[in-house]
Structures are given as C-alpha cells and as structure tokens.
Amino acid sequence: MHEEQGSSVRMTIIVDDAGSGDLLFGVVIGACREETGEFSYGLVDVRFFQQVLFCQKEYLQEASRIVSQLVAELKVKPDEEIHVCQGNIFDEAVDELRKVYGEGRVLRVKVVGEPQRLTEIAYLDEIRNLGYEPLAEREAKRAKSFFHMMRWLKANPDMLRYAKTGWPRLKRYRLFNAFHEDSLYRAVCSDCGCECEVPFKPDPARPVYCRACWAARRGR
C-alpha cells in the first residue's frame, strides 16, 4: 500500500498499447500510475484497422482521444511526468499531451514491467472473450502467433469482422480476399488514394470516392 506524501513521492503515468501487431481485435491502450497501481484501459475498435479507416490512419486520432481521456481520469499531478510507449499508434496522442501538459513532461519510452503486463492482460482478456485461446509464447513468436490467429479465423470465418483486415500485407491471403462481399467492387479512391469498395463496377474514365471522401464532398 503506497501513501501519498505531498510532493515527496514522485508519480509517473505510463501509457502502453497491446494488440497493435496482432491480427485479432482492436488495440488496447492502458494507462497506469505505477507508484499506486492505478490502472485503466480503453479500446481502439477493430474497425479502425479495416479498409478505408485504416488507410486514412484514423486510429491515430482515436488513440489520442482515448489517451487524453485515460490520463485525465488519473488526475495528473502538477509535476507528474507522462511516459508513452514508442509505438507509432501514439504519435498524435503525444503531440496532444505535449500541448496540454508541456513538452518536458511527456516522454517516449520503452514500457516494461507492471504497466506493460497489465495492458497485455487486458488485451488477452479481450481476445479470449472472442473465444480465441492465444499461444503461450505469443510475444516471443510473432510470426507463429500470426498464423495461429489466421488458422483460427479460417475455422471461424464469421470472426473475420474482429480481424485487422485493413493491413495491406493480408492481400496475398485468399482468406481475407473472400471477406469482401461479392456484390462490391474494389476501387482506389480518387481523393485519398485508399482502397475502397463500391457497389458498382468502376468506370476507369470517372473518379471514384470512398465513403468518407464522398461524404466530405457532399458536405461542401
């Protein structure tokens, strides 16, 4: 049990992610105050890692929104530092935190120990909740874990909606191509350049827009 003793106990908030490199589920973002064991987490929904949203990197904004919320919930102490994992999912979050709390108090670090463990556990709970049992050596054997998850998806195709199907490297696997509905055609958006799906056969002579760009154009 830790006790707060005014400014004599230096506190640090540590922000980490889990699941960014994993095929299944979205990403768990954990925020931990190591000295007191306070921990809470939020989720970047898997749809941010599917098709157009992934291409447009909207997960950066979503991660930033979640980090700001988690950090605010922990009620940052006046001189408390915020240490954020180096993963690129936090690039916008760090910019935002530095604007709010000052450049010097927000550091990029390699997260280890308890904060890393708690965030990892939260991710494992989420994927077990889908009915998937992760490999014990998941973190050490990334490639093995990827194919383990892929085999599980092959056996449970209705769970593809919980997979990060927006990853460009998945295009070489038939499993993920079959995921696209037959009635949809693949196209490249004329505005943002992201791959998208449209319900008509694209005419090469005319521009095609993804849903987001189409909505933005209509709003002009």
CB atoms within 10 A of CB 5: 7
The window from 13-21, 87-95, 158-166, 208-216 that contacts Zn ion (CB under 5 A) reads 208-216
How far is C-alpha 23 from the geometric centre of its chain's CA atoms?
A: 11
Q: Which is nearer to Zn ion, 27 or 187 (CB)?
A: 187
Please answer whether residues 155 and 147 qualify as being in contact, where contact means their C-beta atoms are separated by less than 8 angstroms. Answer: no
Out of 32, 82, 106, 210, name the contact with Zn ion by CB under 5 A.
210
Q: Which is nearer to Zn ion, 39 or 49 (CB)?
A: 49
Out of 89, 111, 189, 208, name the contact with Zn ion by CB under 5 A.
189
Does 213 help bind Zn ion (rule: CB under 5 A)? yes
Does 121 help bind Zn ion (rule: CB under 5 A)? no
Q: Which is nearer to Zn ion, 58 or 139 (CB)?
A: 58
Site size toward Zn ion (CB under 5 A) is 5
CB of 197 to Zn ion, least distance (A): 12
Q: 19 is written with which tokens? A: 């699941």
Q: Which is nearer to Zn ion, 74 or 210 (CB)?
A: 210
Q: Which helix (H) or strand (E) holds 180?
A: none
For the chain, where are the E strands, in sequence order? 12-18, 27-33, 38-44, 81-85, 106-109, 185-188, 195-198
Does 192 help bind Zn ion (rule: CB under 5 A)? yes
Burial 178-202 (b: 16+ CB within 10 A, else e): ebeeeeeeebebeeeebbbebeeee
CB of 88 to Zn ion, least distance (A): 21
- Residues 91, 146, 42, 98, Cα dihedral to 10°: -10
The window from 25-33, 77-85, 163-171, 211-219 that contacts Zn ion (CB under 5 A) reads 211-219
Q: Give the Cα separation of 118 and 158 in Å (integer).
A: 29
Does 191 help bind Zn ion (rule: CB under 5 A)? yes
Q: Which is nearer to Zn ion, 60 or 84 (CB)?
A: 60
AA letter at 32? C
CB of 213 to Zn ion, least distance (A): 3
CB of 79 to Zn ion, least distance (A): 44
Q: Which residues bind Zn ion (CB under 5 A)?
A: 189, 191-192, 210, 213
